[in-house]
Chain A
Amino acid sequence: MSTAPFGRRELTITGVQRLGAYTVLRADDADGPRGGWAPIPGQFAMLAAVERWGGGEGERPYLARAFSYARHTGGEAHFLLEDVGPGTRRLCELQAGERLWALGPLGRGFRVGGRDLDERRAILVGGGVGIAPLAILQDGLDGASSPHGEGEATVLLGFRDHARAEGAALMRGARVATDDGSVGHHGFVTELLAQELDRDAHATIYACGPAPMLEGVRALCERHGVPAQLALEAGMACGFGACFGCVVPRRGGGHLRVCVDGPVIDATELDHIDAHAGAPA
């Protein structure tokens, strides 16, 4: 796990790109070790606008919002955003030159290269804005030193509609499913995963997306005996284990804190992924 500098830091926005319904926010993050505070794929940052954070719909936002790193390259951190509430709306409004509070990289990222995963092919399964951590993961897996051997990782992405499916441009070689059938397979991305596993279940799964999708992935992998690492989202006040707000039930009892025990959690640690612990938007 890659630790974060203690305390939030101010980053300057260097670029904003619209990707259909999504926004890619790039920020200068060159200070720090490793050419900036580079994350492990799956780690996240808590973000807030420095100016006018608050006073939106419902006199919000107040808390920072958690976002997976979509990339961290050339001293720039990239985040994928969707405007779904007062916090994400304010962040999507930001322009180059404006400033961002960031705390990160936080949490446990994807674990790649474990001996038990050698020889298994990698399948990346993403849904909606949850494709973000899979982009930076794909960059690492498709590099020369991939722990999964020759060949590129299979990428399966699901979106609600055409405008969101444009998010697939964040990754290479993705097979896409849409709920409305406007792009690619008409249906859920878990149906694409089921086809892949039926064809060849000697695989390991890295997934991130909405809770119902992750639950579908978890159940499929359990049925096929396929290892899976799931990047979860949860309502989160702090991101570093202080608030105890982001818990999910752990298999066998007790809770896991998504921020410090995750956000990437081994599927075998979870009985069921519940839909209602969504993040403040």
Chain B
Amino acid sequence: MSVQFCGLELAHPIINGSGTFDAIAASRSFGEQLRERFPFAAYVSKTITLAPREGNPPPRLWEAPAGLVNSIGLPNKGLDGYLSEDLPALVGLGIGADGPAAIPLITNVMGASAQEIATLLRACDQRPEIAAVELNVSCPNVRTGLDIGADPHTLEAVVREVRGCTRKPLIVKLTPNTADVGACARGAEQGGADAVSLINTLRASALTPRTHDGGRTAATPWLGGGSGGLSGPAIRAVALAQVASVAARVSIPVIGMGGVQSAAHAQDLLDVGATLIAVGTESFRDPAAGTRIAAGLHM
């Protein structure tokens, strides 16, 4: 059942979506068992930015029909904090460590300009713990205000500019909030990406609930960050369409995700051309979901 992905040999095709599993926090809740029963064949970090971020003010969550809207705001320790504190902690959990039993570490990074991204990639390149880098392009460009990943030409140019900053496999995490995700995937490939991953959350919002008498003073956003992103089973059909569309347009490997709750859902994405499958929101409902889904795949 092992899978080859960008030169890595993974025990099975199930990994986590960035920002949906904090191995360090999980080890506080589950102790040694987390290491013994780690549910993913590779571990993808939360998004790391150059400077530390506090994230958005609460509330950060809204339960949607068969899904979840989140507006977390990418809280993280920043590049230096990640490298000096999180990497050793992850290695202590067997993630990014040496040896055949180690779980490969994929570090997800985001920058608001090609220069910022270049700095992040160069830093990751120096660290043997990191097996591959995933680039989150759902970030507004500081100059244009538009998401770097939403336009195929911008995306291609940015990927080309930063490609040389690391020898490690470079995965581009595409945004689904664009007119033609296949064209964006093609742009990432032309720019030099080794793989693409999708789908990220779909832009979504929620309003503060009405009061018991049915009234509401104004249409105020519920989420502290204003708007957020939708995940969970609600987006599974969208993910299937986008993953199929991207797999048909590129020749590099595709990591498919979006509402996967069972081996059958993962198999659907594999059948339309994905090489790996990421489990995200389902891990919130069951931290061992990755194990259950991997065990159910017939490869």
A residues apposed to B, CB below 8 Å:
1, 3-8, 48, 54, 58-64, 101, 103, 106-107, 234-249, 253-255, 257, 260, 274, 276-278, 280
Contacts and interface: CB of A to CB of B under 8 A. Distances in A.
Given A242-B21, A277-B59, A3 B66 contact: no
Contacts of A59: 65-66
A48 B66 CA distance: 14
A66 B285 CA distance: 11
B75 A244 contact: yes
B264 interface: no
B72 A243 contact: yes
Given A242-B20, A242-B26, A64 B72 contact: no
Contact of B286 (A3, A7, A245, A257): A7
Nearest to A235: B61
Interface in B53-103: 54-55, 57-68, 70, 72, 75
Contact of B63 (A63, A247, A274): A63
B28 interface: yes
Contacts of A63: 63, 68, 284-285
Interface of B: 19-22, 24-26, 28-31, 33-34, 37, 54-55, 57-68, 70, 72, 75, 232-233, 281, 283-288, 291
Given A4-B30, A7-B288, A253-B54, 9 more contacts: A6-B37, A48-B285, A60-B63, A240-B30, A243-B284, A244-B19, A244-B75, A247-B75, A260-B29
Nearest to A274: B58
A212 to B, nearest CB: 16
Nearest to B291: A7
A274 B31 CA distance: 31
B249 to A, nearest CB: 32
B110 to A, nearest CB: 15
Contacts of A3: 29-31, 33
Nearest to A280: B63
30 contacts: A3-B30, A4-B29, A6-B33, A6-B34, A6-B37, A6-B288, A7-B288, A58-B65, A62-B63, A62-B68, A103-B286, A235-B58, A237-B61, A237-B68, A238-B283, A240-B287, A242-B20, A242-B22, A242-B26, A242-B284, A244-B55, A244-B75, A246-B58, A246-B60, A254-B54, A276-B58, A277-B58, A277-B59, A278-B59, A280-B63
A143 B37 CA distance: 37
Most A CB contacts (10 A, CB to CB) among B21, B29, B57, B75 go to B29
Contacts, number: 129
A242 B60 contact: no
A8 B285 contact: yes
A246 B68 CA distance: 13
Contacts of A235: 58-61
Contact of B25 (A247, A248, A260): A260
A248 B58 contact: yes
B55 A247 contact: yes
Contact of B61 (A6, A249, A280): A280
Contact of A6 (B24, B30, B233, B284): B30
Nearest to B20: A242
Nearest to B57: A249
A245 B25 contact: no
B61 A243 contact: yes
Nearest to A245: B61
A246 B57 CA distance: 10
Given A6-B37, A255-B75, A260-B25, A62 B67 contact: yes
B60 A5 contact: no
B126 to A, nearest CB: 27
B284 A238 contact: yes
Contact of A8 (B26, B31, B288): B288
Nearest to A241: B25
A278 B58 CA distance: 10
Contacts of A4: 29-30
B29 A247 contact: no
B29 A240 contact: yes
Nearest to B38: A6
A262 B87 CA distance: 24
Contact of A260 (B28, B285, B286): B28
A238 B279 CA distance: 14
A103 B285 CA distance: 9
A103 B284 CA distance: 11
Given A103-B286, A242-B283, A1 B28 contact: yes
Contact of B22 (A62, A101, A241): A241
Contacts of A242: 20-22, 25-26, 283-284, 287
A241 B65 CA distance: 23
